């Protein structure tokens, strides 16, 4: 039974293949097109998923789409989407999704449409390994729903209550994100990272934005929001309420901005704790599953688990819309086979492309001779890398299959020594080229985690925060409030990364590395060897490890290549178009 | 009814296909949902800018505008432009890449050439020509720059443009989209498209005239328009333009038989038969380039140059709908007709390069003796064109000097520049889908003007092009970076993760090196190809990079759909082998109109030109396994060809109305003989 899950036409489009209920592969379209948050139908991802499994379109039993286009269209009509007119109604025809799949993917078989929040719910529950669970999904908006409450048992998911648009915690968060001068759908992480610098002086104002109601319901006080008109997120009334001017993009970040971020975070956590407690009282389960974009708020996740009666929690690592592809495929599997997919908990999410040392060598071409070759000696490779890390080098680490979802978990990562007090600033400014306040996360050997962090369970997907234990001096991964967003690494889930952490412990005494995604601001995480090389050259990464090859930064070589790149040599994919192609007209 | 309920009802109705018959009540609902449009009452303050330059309030000069830095290579390198002075006669020259003299160094451009002609021929007068030309200048930007140019206080305005006036976007309007859908599969389909495009062009040319005449009237300055010409004799349509269109009934079958017969007649010298068949084909499919190409050949054969030109013009114009938005830029015939019609009563002086170049062309048909590619002129072409322009300007200034005398005032360039110019033309022609003869012509010209260092650079370029790794990481590129002018260096670039094999280009240079310089690199290239691209134990997909592409504009599975569509009866692919092992192909394909094909029809598979196997493919995705014996493979590049069956009749294809770009819309009228999802190749 081959089921393809697809998410598309909003942001983070993706494709995955579920074979007899087992996740075989999954990839976001942006990684292949190099267009950040690519929302188009994932044609490249589709080809890749099928090619990797040696399948053709006729081998697909079903394509599961992560949304119901009819309901979504109804909501767009209701919300007075100004792009919809009588003369272009056909452009918004809900049938277009099916037509696109047929036409652009060349697929003639069965298509199943799964509601947006059901897709989120299934993506979390079916990979949680729980026999039963309460489910909370929270995001900006799906069709009508923005928040759903569900109970699951065995193969059955029942979403028994929904909060409807425009009442949305995701949109509340995005509104303040916009208020603080960050990009909606992109800057929410930044607000979360900014919050610990502040104090919740504006919590009372933020509370006025939401009215808590019975059961799982809440409503936004729409006088403070303007997103219905599609021009901007907040109204002038919100500016009056907050009493702080809207921050212009790239303007300086002041204390008041940090305080607003903190206030939002506090209020979000209050609401989530209240609603998750409500959920607990409605379901007969100790297990909680979270999904939807808001579930990527790892700070809130930790608070939810700590402050509600649920004993266990699972958060879908691709909680954003890309993960909807997984959930849709799972739900379609249940519909078609009557069986539950994915019986056990998912422990790793390395489902993307990988490159053998031979393939890497082919792409490197003449550049191979600049590399140290450890393709036949992993032990020495790890020794060399760990030594460099201990010496304060920043490493681009490109190994095995690429991760699915927004986090780099040790296969497309930038790594560094967490003990170095300057490391956060170095990586933020010279490598990632992003805002200086943003924190970095630690990856730690699973068995050693509790020695360093207040965490008593696995966190393989970097979706929870916890406190760093007192006395542990790791400034590069410890946030201003003493917290860290931990990734636990096991030998089973990622052997080479685990061994590197062990080796680093041998040299440094610490089984922990700073781990951040291998990309620069505005670009998707690197996917191919060429992506990694170009990212390496265009940043200040000291050393690049591609499979079994190590490249130490040779300034002369880099200068030479940069000079060529600087001369309009086409390399970097532009957003939405192949405009790096040499052309005249 | 509650708003939500109504919304749900409307959505369901639209989904059910009732959208065109929405009840009045529901239609009203949608209209009521719209906010009344509000117009901003605040005056818009526009910056004082001219093209990529913006006014510096301190100096009063126009300096480079940082907002345009990404377009830096496309404009003149001039750092600043003064506001002008009383004692200098200032001409502004606005134009597209032809005016920038693409392929030449930046400092060699139409403005400089014509300025030198005027300065030397009218010695008593200080004349300057301000270069406002830009590569890739679209019509909308052209109009903007023309309007802005008056800020520079010109005494004369010249516009040299028309190659980039692609009207395709007009097809994207909802009305035209719906109309287009209604015409697909009918005899009126191409006429509707052509009429729509013509209407759009007419509107543009009218706007253009209004703008030019407005400037002439308001500022009382002469305005000239230079209308470009096309390389009719030397440039062929790209392979992607040889597409079949939907033909009702059994016409496709008849057309395809005529196609084969026509090729056979040409090969056997049966020219009257060629003419007869080409005429029949034109009647059936008015837009397929092949028939026009054959007709032009026929008239060349019988020496009727007027008719030959007529068909070459029509051949050129097939790109209007066959590769909309992606064809090599050109001035379509309809533009010339519209310009001549609309501008004839205006005060705008037209310099028509078709007339200018005709008398300097081989048999009156401009070709490679004047052009570097489709529209960019070579050294001689530039001087002839600018000579005619300079003569016209001089006449306006009251000085009579004929075009020939003007053209004789040369702006010389070095042999090295000429060599690099031809080399770049070879690369560019490869990118835009030209065949080996044109590539070889430019490679030979490049070598004729090359010094030893450049010869070595071209040799290394062949190695660089033939390697599989990204060019950035090749040693050869670093050699080239030392000897090749950086402003032209981008020709070695390629999209990320998409290195090409450059087979025809490298083969052309390999042959040119052997013929012109007696340097043999064929074995070296063959060995590199085998080493880098040989099919091995790991399967590769011949539809994927780097096997599939032959130019950056012809990626097989990269654009509208996730599979390859065959719009011709033959689909060619390449695979590289060392011929020591068999190659196993695992092909996934389907024939959409299989139901209308002869019951016994099969797909013919050719290897290196010889029929190797016939296989059955149906209208559903079919997996076929083909084992290619090593005996039929050559060491190096091998050609695989699939010849698809032609249906006995055609019926309207199923249409999915999800496409929004003009190119995608036009795709709907192309006939698809077959579709391929994968050609996995591996050695056995």
**Looking at the complex, does the CB of residue B10 fall below 8 Å from at least one CB of chain A?**
yes
What value, to the nearest 5°, has the Cα angle with vertex B309 and ends B283 and B110?
A: 130
Residue A573: pLDDT band with limits 50, 70, 90: very low
Distance CA A98, CA B31 (A): 27
Are B26 and B13 in contact, with CB atoms under 8 Å apart?
A: yes
- Each domain of chain B, given as residue ranges in start order, spans 3-33, 71-235+328-411, 239-322, 415-533, 541-683
Please state, in angstroms and rounded to a whole number, the distance separating the CA atoms of residues B228 and A332. 59
Distance from CA of A39 to the nearest CA of B (A): 14
Which stretches of B359-474 are DSSP H helices? 379-396, 403-407, 415-431, 436-448, 452-466
Task: Decide if B137 contacts B110 (C-beta within 8 A).
Answer: no
Q: How confident is the model at residue A580 (pLDDT cuts 50, 70, 90)?
A: very low
* Strand-pair category, A14-19 with A22-28: antiparallel
Placement of tokens 């139409």 in the chain: B110
Chain A residues with beta carbon closer than 8 angstroms to that of B102:
584
On whether both A284 and A304 belong to a single domain, the answer is yes
A310 and A387: one domain?
no
Coil vs helix vs strand at B585:
strand
Q: SS3 for A476-535, per residue?
A: CCCCCCCEEECEEECCCCCHHHHHHHHHHHHHHCCCEEEEEECCCCCCCCCCCHHHHHHH
Which domain covers residue A210, as residue numbers? 169-315
Composition of chain B by helix, strand, coil, percent to 5: 45, 15, 40
Which tokens sit at B31? 């209209």
CATH number of the domain located at residue range(s) B239-322 in this protein = 1.25.40.10
pLDDT at site B662: 54
CA angle B444, B446, B449 (to 5 degrees): 110
Query: Does any domain span residue A346?
Result: no
- pLDDT of amino acid A578: 24
Q: CA dihedral in degrees (A472, A474, A480, A482; nearest 10)?
A: -30
Helix axes B174-183, B189-219, angle to 10 degrees: 150
Pairing relationship of beta strands A14-19 and A2-7 according to DSSP bridges? antiparallel
Write the residue in B376, B470, B675 that is nearest to A106 by C-beta: B675
Instruction: Tell me whether residues B467 and A365 touch, CB distance under 8 A.
Output: yes
B32, closest residue in chain A (CA to CA): A80
> Which pLDDT belongs to residue B128?
96
| CATH class belonging to B541-683 | mainly beta
What's the pLDDT score for residue B477?
86
The CA-based angle A293-A297-A300, given to 5 degrees, is 130
Total domain count, chain A? 3
- Residues A311, A328 share a domain: no
Count CB neighbours of B264 within 10 A. 13
- Ranges of beta strands (E only) in B121-180 are 127-133, 156-160
Q: Rounded to whole angstroms, how far apart are CA atoms A262 and A256?
A: 10
User: Which of A351, A401, A460, A493 has the alpha carbon at shortest distance from A24?
Assistant: A351
Which residues on chain B are in Cβ contact (under 8 Å) with A554?
Answer: none
Does residue B562 contact residue A47 with C-beta atoms inside 8 Å? Answer: yes
Q: Are residues A305 and A181 in the same domain?
A: yes
pLDDT digits 0-9 by tens, B16-25: 776 555 566 6
Mean pLDDT of A10-39: 93
Q: Is residue A343 part of a domain?
A: no
Pairing of strands B62-64, B80-81: antiparallel
Nearest to A86 among B30, B164, B178 (CB): B30
What pLDDT does B658 receive?
54
Strand ranges for B60-219 from DSSP E: 62-64, 80-81, 89-95, 127-133, 156-160
Looking at the structure, tell me whether residues A208 and A245 fall in a common domain: yes
Least confident span in A478-482, A569-573, B599-603: A569-573
What per-residue confidence (pLDDT) applies to A585? 26
Q: Is residue A137 part of a domain?
A: no
Segment 136-155 of chain B within 8 Å of chain A by CB? 136
Same domain, A180 and A118: no
State whether A530 and B8 contact (CB < 8 Å): no
Q: Phi and psi for B132 in degrees, rounded to 5?
A: -110, 25
- Which one, of A67, A32, A30, lies nearest residue A52 by Cα? A32
**One domain for residues A361 and A496:** yes
Residue with tokens 């919590």: A203
Query: Touching check for B410 and chain A: CB below 8 Å?
Result: no
The reported pLDDT for the residue numbered B36 is 58
The CATH number for B71-235+328-411, chosen from 3.40.50.1980, 3.40.50.720, 3.40.50.300, 3.40.50.1110, is 3.40.50.1110
Residues A382 and A273 in one domain: no
**Per-residue pLDDT tens digits for A201-224:** 999 999 999 999 999 999 999 999
| Ramachandran class of A83: left when φ > 0, alpha when ψ lies in -120 to 50, beta otherwise | alpha
- Which residue stretches of chain B have pLDDT < 70? 1, 18-27, 30-46, 168-175, 177-178, 180-181, 184-187, 323-326, 486, 549-559, 652-668
| Cβ partners under 8 Å of residue A166, min gap 6 | A79, A141, A146, A220, A222, A225, A227, A228
For residue A582, the model assigns a pLDDT of 20
Give the pLDDT of residue B648: 87
CATH number for position A332: 3.30.420.40
Question: CB-based contact (8 Å) between B264 and chain A?
Answer: no
Indicate the helix (H) or strand (E) that contains B203: helix B189-219
Interface test with B, best of A106, A143, A524 (most B CBs within 10 A): A106
Give the integer Cα–Cα distance in Å for B446 and B456. 12
Residues 362-381 of B with CB under 8 A from A: 376
Q: Which of B43, B54, B44 is nearest to B151 (CA)?
A: B54
* Between A413 and A568, the higher pLDDT residue: A413
Kindly state whether residues A300 and A392 are assigned to the same domain: no
- Greatest Cα pair distance, chain A, in angstroms, is 69
Burial degree of B59 (CB within 10 A; 0-12, 13-18, 19+): exposed
Is A330 found in the same domain as A272? Answer: no
ipTM of this predicted structure: 0.89
Give me the residues paired with residue A313 across strands: A288
Same domain, A103 and A176: no
Span A123-133, mean pLDDT?
96
Pair (A189, A236) in one structural domain: yes
Q: Is B151 exposed, middle or buried (0-12, 13-18, 19+ CB in 10 A)?
A: middle
Nearest by Cα to B429 from B439, B419, B421, B420: B439
The CA-to-CA distance between both ends of chain B, in Å, stands at: 69
Report CA-CA distances (Å) from B229 to A96, A381, B205.
43, 62, 17
- Say what the pLDDT of residue B639 is: 93
- Among A residues 121-140, those touching chain B with beta carbons less than 8 Å apart: none
pLDDT tens for residues A253-298?
A: 999 999 999 999 999 999 999 999 999 999 989 999 999 989 889 8
Average pLDDT over residues A518-522: 87
The answer to the question of residue A152 being in a domain is no
Backbone angles phi, psi at B259, to 5 degrees: -60, -50
Q: Whose structure tokens read 């080996």?
A: B436
Q: How many CB atoms lie within 10 A of CB B595?
A: 12
Phi, psi of B193 (to 5 degrees): -60, -45
Looking at residue A203, what is its pLDDT?
95
Distance of alpha carbon A63 from the chain centroid = 23
Give the span between the Cα atoms of B33 and B6, in whole angstroms. Answer: 12
Contact A47 B658 (CB under 8 A): no
Cβ atoms < 10 Å from Cβ of A477 = 30
Is A572 an interface residue toward B (CB < 8 Å)?
yes
pLDDT greater than 50 at residue A448: yes
Tell me if chain A has a CB within 8 Å of the CB of B58: no
Per-residue pLDDT tens for A365-375? 888 888 999 99
Whether B498 contacts B555, CB under 8 Å: yes
pLDDT at A42: 95
As beta bridge partners, residue B615 has B603
CB contact under 8 A, A80 and B560: no
Residue A48 belongs to a domain: yes
Q: Which residues have a Cβ under 8 Å from the Cβ of B583 and sit 6 or more positions away?
A: B535, B575, B577, B627, B628, B630, B633, B681, B682, B683, B684
Average pLDDT over residues A480-509: 95
Interface of A with B in 510-529 (CB under 8 A): 528
* Average pLDDT over every residue of A355-380: 92
Three-state secondary structure call for residue B38:
coil
Return the residue in B621, B654, B660, B676 with the most chain A beta carbons within 10 A, the one to mutate for interface testing: B621
User: Cα–Cα distance between B405 and B391 in angstroms, integer?
Assistant: 8
Question: Which of B7, B471, B497 lies at the smallest CB-CB distance from A77?
Answer: B7
* Nearest neighbour of B495 by CB, restricted to A561, A580, A585: A580
Mean pLDDT of chain A: 90
Residue B449 CA, chain-centre distance (Å), reads: 27
Comparing C-alpha atoms, which of A105, A115, A23 is closest to residue A65? A115
Confidence of residue A583 (pLDDT cuts 50, 70, 90): very low
Contact check, Cβ <8 Å, B7/A74: yes
């Amino acid at each position: 039974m081959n089921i393809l899950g697809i998410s598309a036409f909003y942001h983070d489009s993706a494709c995955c293949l579920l074979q007899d209920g087992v996740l075989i592969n999954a990839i976001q379209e942006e990684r292949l097109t190099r267009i950040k948050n690519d929302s188009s139908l994932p044609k490249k991802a589709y080809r890749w998923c099928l090619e990797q499994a040696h399948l053709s379109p006729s081998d697909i039993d079903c394509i599961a789409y992560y949304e119901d286009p009819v309901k979504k269209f109804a909501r767009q009509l209701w919300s007075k989407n100004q792009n919809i007119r009588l003369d272009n109604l056909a452009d918004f025809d809900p049938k277009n999704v099916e037509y696109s799949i047929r036409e652009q993917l060349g697929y003639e078989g069965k298509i199943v449409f799964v509601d947006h929040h059901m897709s989120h719910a299934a993506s979390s529950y079916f990979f949680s390994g729980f026999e039963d669970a309460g489910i909370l999904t929270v995001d900006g908006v799906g069709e009508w729903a923005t928040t759903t409450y569900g109970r699951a048992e065995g193969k059955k998911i029942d979403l028994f209550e929904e909060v409807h648009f425009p009442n949305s915690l995701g949109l509340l968060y995005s509104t303040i994100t916009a208020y603080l001068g960050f990009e909606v759908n992109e800057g929410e992480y930044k607000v979360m990272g900014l919050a610990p610098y502040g104090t919740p002086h504006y919590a009372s104002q933020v509370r006025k934005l939401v009215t808590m109601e019975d059961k799982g319901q809440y409503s936004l006080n729409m006088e403070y929001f303007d997103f219905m008109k599609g021009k901007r997120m907040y109204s002038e009334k919100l500016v009056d309420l907050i009493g702080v001017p809207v921050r212009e993009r790239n303007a300086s970040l002041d204390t008041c901005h940090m305080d607003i971020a903190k206030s939002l975070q506090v209020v979000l956590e209050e609401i989530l704790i209240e609603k998750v407690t409500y959920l607990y009282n409605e379901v007969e389960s100790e297990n909680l599953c979270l999904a939807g974009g808001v579930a990527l708020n790892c700070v809130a996740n930790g608070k939810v688990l700590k402050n509600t009666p649920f004993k266990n929690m699972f958060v879908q690592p691709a909680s954003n819309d890309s993960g909807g592809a997984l959930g849709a495929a799972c739900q379609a599997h249940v519909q078609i086979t009557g069986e539950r997919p994915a019986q056990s908990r998912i422990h790793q999410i390395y489902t993307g492309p990988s490159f053998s040392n031979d393939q890497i060598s082919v792409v490197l071409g003449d550049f191979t001779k600049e590399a140290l070759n450890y393709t036949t000696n992993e032990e020495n490779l790890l020794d060399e890398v760990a030594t460099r890390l201990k010496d304060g080098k920043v490493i681009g680490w490109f190994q095995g299959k690429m991760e699915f979802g927004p986090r780099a978990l040790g296969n497309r990562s930038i790594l560094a020594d967490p003990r170095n007090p300057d490391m956060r600033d170095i990586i933020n400014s010279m490598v990632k080229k992003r805002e200086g306040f943003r924190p970095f996360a630690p990856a730690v050997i699973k068995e050693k985690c509790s020695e360093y962090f207040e965490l008593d369970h696995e966190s393989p997907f970097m979706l929870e925060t916890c406190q760093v234990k007192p006395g542990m001096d790791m400034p590069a991964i410890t946030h201003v409030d003493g917290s860290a967003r931990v990734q636990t690494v096991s030998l089973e889930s990622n052997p080479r990364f685990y061994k590197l952490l062990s080796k680093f412990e041998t040299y440094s005494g610490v089984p922990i590395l700073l781990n951040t995604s291998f990309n620069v601001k505005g670009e998707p995480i690197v996917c191919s060897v060429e992506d990694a090389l170009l990212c390496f050259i265009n940043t200040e990464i000291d050393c690049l490890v591609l499979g079994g090859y190590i490249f130490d930064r040779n300034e002369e070589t880099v200068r030479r290549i940069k000079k060529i790149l600087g001369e309009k040599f086409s390399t970097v994919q532009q957003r939405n178009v192949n405009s790096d192609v040499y052309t005249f007209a | 009814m509650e708003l939500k309920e109504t919304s749900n009802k409307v959505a369901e109705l639209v989904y059910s296909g009732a959208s065109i018959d929405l009840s009045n009540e529901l239609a009203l609902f949608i209209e009521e949902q719209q906010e009344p449009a509000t117009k901003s009452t605040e005056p818009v303050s526009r910056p004082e800018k001219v093209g990529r330059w913006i006014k510096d309030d301190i100096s009063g000069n126009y300096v480079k505008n940082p907002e345009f830095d990404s377009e830096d290579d496309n404009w003149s390198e001039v750092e600043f432009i003064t506001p002008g002075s009383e004692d200098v006669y200032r001409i502004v020259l606005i134009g597209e890449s032809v005016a920038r003299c693409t392929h030449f160094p930046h400092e060699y451009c139409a403005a400089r050439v014509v300025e030198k002609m005027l300065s030397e021929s009218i010695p008593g007068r200080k004349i300057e020509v301000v270069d406002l030309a830009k590569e890739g200048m679209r019509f909308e930007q052209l109009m903007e720059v023309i309007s802005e140019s008056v800020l520079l206080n010109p005494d004369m305005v010249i516009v040299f443009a028309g190659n980039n006036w692609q009207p395709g976007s007009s097809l994207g309007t909802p009305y035209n989209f719906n109309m287009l859908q209604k015409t697909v599969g009918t005899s009126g389909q191409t006429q509707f498209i052509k009429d729509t495009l013509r209407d759009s062009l007419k509107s543009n040319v009218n706007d253009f005239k209004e703008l030019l005449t407005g400037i002439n009237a308001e500022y009382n300055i002469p305005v000239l328009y230079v209308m470009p010409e096309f390389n009719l004799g030397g440039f062929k349509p790209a392979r992607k333009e040889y597409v079949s269109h939907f033909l009702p009934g059994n016409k496709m079958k008849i057309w395809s038989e005529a196609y084969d017969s026509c090729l056979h007649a040409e090969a056997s010298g049966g020219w009257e038969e060629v003419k007869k068949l080409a005429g029949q084909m034109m009647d059936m499919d008015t837009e397929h380039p092949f028939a026009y190409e054959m007709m032009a050949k026929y008239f060349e054969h019988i020496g009727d140059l007027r008719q030959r030109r007529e068909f070459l013009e029509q051949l050129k114009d097939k790109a209007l709908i066959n590769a909309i938005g992606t064809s090599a830029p050109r001035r379509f015939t309809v533009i010339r007709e519209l310009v001549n019609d609309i501008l004839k009563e205006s005060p705008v002086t037209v310099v028509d390069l078709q007339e200018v170049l005709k008398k300097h062309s081989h048999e009156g048909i401009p070709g490679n003796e004047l052009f570097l590619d489709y529209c960019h002129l070579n050294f001689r072409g530039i001087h002839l064109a600018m000579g005619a322009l300079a003569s016209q300007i001089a006449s306006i200034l009251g000085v009579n000097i004929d075009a020939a005398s003007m053209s004789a005032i040369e702006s010389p360039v070095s042999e090295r520049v000429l060599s690099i110019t031809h080399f770049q033309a070879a690369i560019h022609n490869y990118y835009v889908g030209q065949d080996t003869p044109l590539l070889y012509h430019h490679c030979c010209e490049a070598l004729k003007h090359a010094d030893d260092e450049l010869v070595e650079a071209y040799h290394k370029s062949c190695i660089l092009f033939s390697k599989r790794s990204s060019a950035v990481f090749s040693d050869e590129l670093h050699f080239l970076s030392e000897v090749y002018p950086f402003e032209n260096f981008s020709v070695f670039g390629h999209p990320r993760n998409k290195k090409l094999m450059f087979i025809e280009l490298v083969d052309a240079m390999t042959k040119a090196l052997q013929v012109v310089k007696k340097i043999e690199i064929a074995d070296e290239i063959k060995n590199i190809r085998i080493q880098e691209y040989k099919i091995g134990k790991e399967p590769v997909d011949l539809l994927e990079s780097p096997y599939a592409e032959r130019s950056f504009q012809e990626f097989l599975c990269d654009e509208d759909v996730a599979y390859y569509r065959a719009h011709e009866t033959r689909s060619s692919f390449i695979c590289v082998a060392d011929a020591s092992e068999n190659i196993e192909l695992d092909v996934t394909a389907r024939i959409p109109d299989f139901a209308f094909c002869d019951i016994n029809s099969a797909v013919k598979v050719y290897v290196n030109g010889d029929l190797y196997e016939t296989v059955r493919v149906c209208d559903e995705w079919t997996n076929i396994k083909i084992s290619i014996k090593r005996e039929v493979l050559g060491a190096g590049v091998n050609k695989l060809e699939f010849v698809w069956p032609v249906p006995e009749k055609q019926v309207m294809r199923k249409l999915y109305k999800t496409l929004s770009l003009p190119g995608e819309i036009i795709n709907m009228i192309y006939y698809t003989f077959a579709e391929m999802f994968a050609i996995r190749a591996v050695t056995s």
